[in-house]
Amino acid sequence: MTTRQSSRRNFLARLAAGAGALALTGCDRLVQDDNVDALLRQTEKLTLAGQRALLSRHALAREYSEADLSPVFRANGTQMPDSNEYARLLEGSFMDWRLQVDGLVERPQSLSLTELKRFPSRTQITRHDCVEGWSAIGKWHGVPLAHVLDAAGLKPGARYVVLHCADDLEKALDGSGRYYESIDLIDAYHPQTILAYGMNGRDLPVRHGAPLRLRVERQLGYKQAKYLMRIEVVDGFSTLFGGKGGFWEDRGYEWYAGI
Ligand SMILES: Nc1nc2c(c(=O)[nH]1)N[C@H]1C(S)=C(S)[C@@H](COP(=O)(O)O)O[C@H]1N2
Ligand SMILES: [Mo]
């Protein structure tokens, strides 16, 4: 929350408390004043709208049953990162792969797949919606991002989580074609936001982002970053890559891709 937002909230809270106190002491001259009345009615609406917006960000995405699983789950974007480093990691069955967790954290982490699998896990069957106009229902298994963030401990000022991937979706010598994404802390701590290492009861296949991908179920397909290498906690993303918070965002897509 910005300082302006929070001081406005404080102002509204004081206003509401003040009005209550006035009403209680029977001094209704102020309360009956037309302007104050109108203002109070408006703050009531604002609070409701604000609460509704927040509630909807916390709501769960629909979950499905095994019978709903799509027989074919399409792969999109990169289906095999084209780097020597990724080839080497894949050849070693990702035994040498580590997820770096750094940025605004108290305890930077370097986590192997085995270590990630020791955290409590979650399985969810959800529908993936790509902006290109296709959907598929899949079963995802992994560690809630919240557990990993708690292990690292957020520093004051932390506001976003940036997901750095292994693949260049665009060939650019300056590194600007690297896939990445970002989400805010509401989504990062949402119970269905997981770092998935399993899909449909097996290890996550390479074309779907092995060894680890994000599932952030209230948002569109392009937010579901595959081939995760690093999680960086930041206070803003304007200085990263194109500054818009994601590979496709830098090319014009919305940062918040709610569905
Ligand atoms: N690293 C990386 N993540 C990515 C992409 C990509 O090209 N590279 N494509 C995105 C898009 S547009 C979609 S629809 C989904 C596709 O996921 P899937 O291949 O498992 O179907 O991954 C998203 N995450
Ligand atoms: Mo997509």
Question: Residue whose CA is closest, atom 5 of ligand 1?
Answer: 77
Does residue 259 lie within any of the structural domains? no
Indicate if 128 and 184 belong to the same structural domain.
yes
Write out the residue range of the structural domain in which residue 19 sits: 1-55
Indicate if 67 and 30 belong to the same structural domain.
no
User: For residue range 154-204, what is the model confidence (pLDDT) as tens digits?
Assistant: 999 999 999 999 999 999 889 899 999 999 999 999 999 999 999 999 999
Indicate if 49 and 68 belong to the same structural domain.
no
Kindly state if the Cβ of 227 falls inside 6 Å of ligand 1: yes
Cα(86)–Cα(210) distance, integer angstroms: 10
Indicate if 133 and 49 belong to the same structural domain.
no
Dist. CA 240 → ligand 2 center (Å): 21
Angle separating helix axes 34-58 and 3-24, nearest 10 degrees: 130
Does residue 256 lie within any of the structural domains? no
- Kindly tell me if the per-residue pLDDT of 5 is higher than 90: no
Kindly state if the Cβ of 167 falls inside 6 Å of ligand 1: yes
Cα(82)–Cα(208) distance, integer angstroms: 14
Q: What angle do CA 54, 146, 250 make, to 5 degrees?
A: 70
Indicate if 20 and 69 belong to the same structural domain.
no
Position 227 scores a pLDDT of 99
Average model confidence (pLDDT) across the chain: 88
Question: Residue whose CA is closest, atom 11 of ligand 1?
Answer: 222
Kindly state if the Cβ of 127 falls inside 6 Å of ligand 1: no
Dist. CA 118 → ligand 1 center (Å): 26
Cα(138)–Cα(143) distance, integer angstroms: 16
Question: Residue whose CA is closest, atom 19 of ligand 1?
Answer: 75
Q: What angle do CA 128, 118, 113 make, to 5 degrees?
A: 65
As for how many domains the chain has, the answer is 2
Cα(19)–Cα(226) distance, integer angstroms: 52
Q: What angle do CA 38, 40, 45 make, to 5 degrees?
A: 95
